[in-house]
Structure 1
Amino acid sequence: MNRHDIRLLQAVRLYPSVTITSPTHRTTPDNKQDPIRVRNLVTEATNRLLAEFSRRDVEPLLSRLEALVNDIDYRYTLDGLALFVNRDIGRQFILPFTLPERVVVDETFWTRSLVFALNRTPRYWVLALSEQPTRLFEGVREHLQEITGEGFPMTHTGPGGERGLPNDPAINRSAYRDERHRQFFRQVSAALTPFITDDPLPLALVGIDRYIAFFREVSPHAGAVITTLTGSHDKTPAQELGKLVWPLVEQNLAVLRAGALKELEAAVGAQKYASTIGEVWRFAHEGRVSVLLVEENYHQPARIAADGVTLTLVDDPTLPDVVDDAVDEIISLVLEKGGRVVFVDDGALPQHQRIAVILRY
């Protein structure tokens, strides 16, 4: 799941729409209880629907939900499961982060916990460049999930790809083939645009040197490239590819974190920064945050004043009118307003009380 998926789900307005989330487990014996847990949540959702509608009215929804649940292969689940179902839509996501047990029946799908989990998870795109075909993956640590649909996977069907090169001695076959590859990778770049626009994650390129060079030459997304894995990986399964790519991404993410801390030092000298959660909250609401730096395990429940810009920190997140985690709210707000978020090691921002921002102005 990525922010592109979430935006599509958030656009849905149809009652009843059912969201079911549950933790799952990767190994035995913990995963033995996962089917029972999920089935209990499905029963809860069914009972809530039948308390409000006749079975005939919600039969298409219940049938779609049953089909989704029957399709779960618990041998390959990860840390969380999310199901989104109404009479028109049925989506299942196997996720590499944990989720709470929850059933929500509403006009909209419930995506809040997924948004916050995505915000705190090191994610990246992987574009495996090839003629047959170019594949797009969403990466979470070493786990890769292939994106299918909306243009991917993409096969080079033109001359030099599935079709042979023209047999004309007047044509420079090498130059002709290269130009057709450039055209193909322009198409790949265009297909990538909605994903990287909705979810501007670092990009890892995989492929032979020529393909990587062509993509860098023609794509406006070349600046998002964080690392490359050279070689032919047309047939490499996602599981193996993730194990090869993630160490390279992890190494370069560490470089980005170090660079962000240096940027913060410069911003402090130029008086273009803010520290402490209360000040950061205010500037985030004003849309003035260019870069947010936050320690990885910093969480803080808080109460938001009526003016929307004043925070009162509390210790108990279960109190009335308390936001479970104001840090997560800040992260989402900064991303929505086009800012960048960098997680740093715990203890890296002691003088800023664990959170700081570089201001646009």
Structure 2
Amino acid sequence: MNETLKQPMKQTDGAKLSLFMPTHLSDPENRQDPIVFKNLLRDAEEKLKEFPEGTLVRVMDELNQLQKDIMFWNRTKGGIGILASEAETRIHHLTYPVPASIKIGHEFHVLPLLKYQEGEPEAFLADISRNRLRLYYFDGHTVKAVRPAGLEQDFYDLFDDFDPDSDGGSGNFNGLVGSYHGGWSKAEEERKDREKYFRYLDNAFTRLYKDQPMPVILSGTTENLSAFREIAKGDFYAEAAIDKPLDSLNAHQIRDTVTKIMEDRRKAKYQKTTDMASVALSDNRAETDLAKIRKLAQEGRVAEFLVNEQYISEDSQELDSLINDLTATGAKIKPMAYEDESRPEPYLAILRY
């Protein structure tokens, strides 16, 4: 989650630097990223010569060292955003590309960060069958296998004395004895084993979500997905799922499918925001005039400030200044998007009263 708009940068009267640029995951494009960064720093040095409130010597030294840090450039995703002053430096690894820009001023340029205010499109991808799990992490670009500590991914690892070829018996499940009655059919035994294993997975995913609050996207056969949904209690499971085992898809198909699911989730979240804006306008609890919003912000009456996604790339010092002031009052800053482009407001404030 992008914390800059939740926790304001430390206050300082000196120069403020805002740097944004797209980055690349693969060769040869990613070889150019440090060069683009170096050119942006050169532009920053020139702009700082004209800025009377300080030259950010310490910050520029840090950023020049960062330009040479190979490990840093190997970890980038879609873009980076850097906000820095003599008091503090924050680096954001962005999942999506942003236009290259460098700004020096009295306010931080925060508009490009609004798109990420609702959180990066990260998720766990859980490929489940009746007796095993394969868990993956999606960072917005790539899918990679993970094995969180304490999460058993195979059914038989949970039953230290269970005989999969027997028709009945008893076994230990995480130290608890579970009885298996002789005479069960093979199909009934497999159903009960699956139910027990799926309950374990649901509890394990709940613990995982508490540590790493990301949605869980399920994949597997329609039968297993249906059985798991009947048991699952967590509200963090994505509504959409991949209704086939992942080993039936190649890496590109998996990535494209997960990306589509996450994009649909983002659109649904935006729709809720725009619906809320419509209700606030109809109830006369919203304002779209920037000067009036600034006055309402000074009175502490703005609860949420929404910026149309189409305007996020705009170079507006006035809007940056207002967002920084609103953040200090505790107002929530959110992006919004209209699918049908029926609403013209570039920004909108929802009032507390």
| 1:132–1:234 Cα change, 3 Å | farther
1:129-185 Cα deviation digits (max 9, x unpaired):
13443223233xxx346596xxx6467427725345734536344434423332232
Contact 2:198 / 2:231 at 8 angstroms: preserved in 1? no
Identity of aligned residues (%): 14
Cα separation, 1, equivalents of 2:343 and 2:263: 21
Other-structure match for 1:135:
136
| Unmatched tracts of structure 2, length 5 or more | 11-17, 44-56, 84-90, 171-178, 181-188
AA of the residue aligned to 2:235 = H
1:85-114 deviations in Å (ceiling 9; x for gaps): xxxxxx99574322656799xxxxx99687
**Are residue 348 (structure 1) and residue 345 (structure 2) matched?**
no
- How big is the shift at 1:329? 4.4
Equivalent AA in structure 1 for residue 311 of structure 2: Y
Given that residues 24 and 77 in structure 1 are in contact (C-alpha distance below 8 angstroms), is that contact kept between their aligned partners in structure 2? yes
1:221 corresponding residue in structure 2: 235
CA RMSD of aligned residues (A): 5.8
Which residue number corresponds to residue 2 of structure 2? 3
Q: In the alignment, is the contact (CA less than 8 A) between 2:23 and 2:79 conserved in 1?
A: yes
**Is 1:41–1:103's contact at 8 Å kept on the other side of the alignment?**
no
> How far is 1:31 from its partner?
5.9
Match for residue 116 of structure 2 among 118, 124, 148 = 118
TM-score (norm 1): 0.55
**Cα distance between partner residues in 1 of 2:151 and 2:24:** 39
Task: Quote how far apart the aligned CAs of 1:243 are.
Answer: 0.8
Q: Give the alignment of 1:149-160 within 5 angstroms.
A: 153=148, 156-157=151-152, 160=155
Are the aligned partners of 1:186 and 1:215 in contact in 2 as well (CA < 8 Å)? no
Amino acid at match of 1:233: L
The equivalent position to 2:205 in structure 1, one of 169, 182, 188, is: 188
Q: How far is the alpha carbon of 1:69 from its aligned partner? A: 1.1
Residues matched between the structures, number: 301
Structure-to-structure mapping, 1:238-253, within 5 angstroms: 239-251=252-264, 253=266
Q: What SS does the aligned partner of 1:297 have?
A: helix
Residues 332 and 129 of structure 1: CA distance in aligned 2, closer, same or farther (over 3 Å): farther
Contact 1:267 / 1:358 at 8 angstroms: preserved in 2?
yes
Query: CA offsets, 1:248-271, max 9 Å, x none?
Result: 444454455455444444333333
The answer to whether residue 311 in structure 2 is matched with residue 298 in structure 1 is: yes
One-letter amino acid of the counterpart of residue 137, structure 1? F
Bigger radius of gyration, 1 or 2? 2
Separation in structure 2 between the aligned mates of residue 67 and residue 300 of structure 1, nearest angstrom: 28
Q: Counterpart of 2:310 in structure 1: which amino acid? A: N
CA distance 1:286–1:238, shift in 2 (3 Å): farther
The equivalent residue for 2:175 is none
CA contact (8 A) 1:25 1:78 kept: yes
The structure, 1 or 2, with the larger RCO (C-alpha pairs under 8 Å, 6+ apart) is: 2
Could you tell me the TM-score, scaled by structure 2's length?
A: 0.56
In the alignment, the residues of structure 2 paired with residue 240 and residue 190 of structure 1 have an alpha-carbon distance, to the nearest angstrom, of 29
Measure, in 2, the Cα distance between the counterparts of 1:4 and 1:212: 37
Aligned with 1:275 (options 269, 272, 288): 288
What per-residue deviation string (whole Å, max 9, x for no partner) do you get for residues 182-213 of structure 1? 223222222223443xxxx8x46231253576
- The SS at the match of 2:311 is coil
1:343 partner amino acid: A
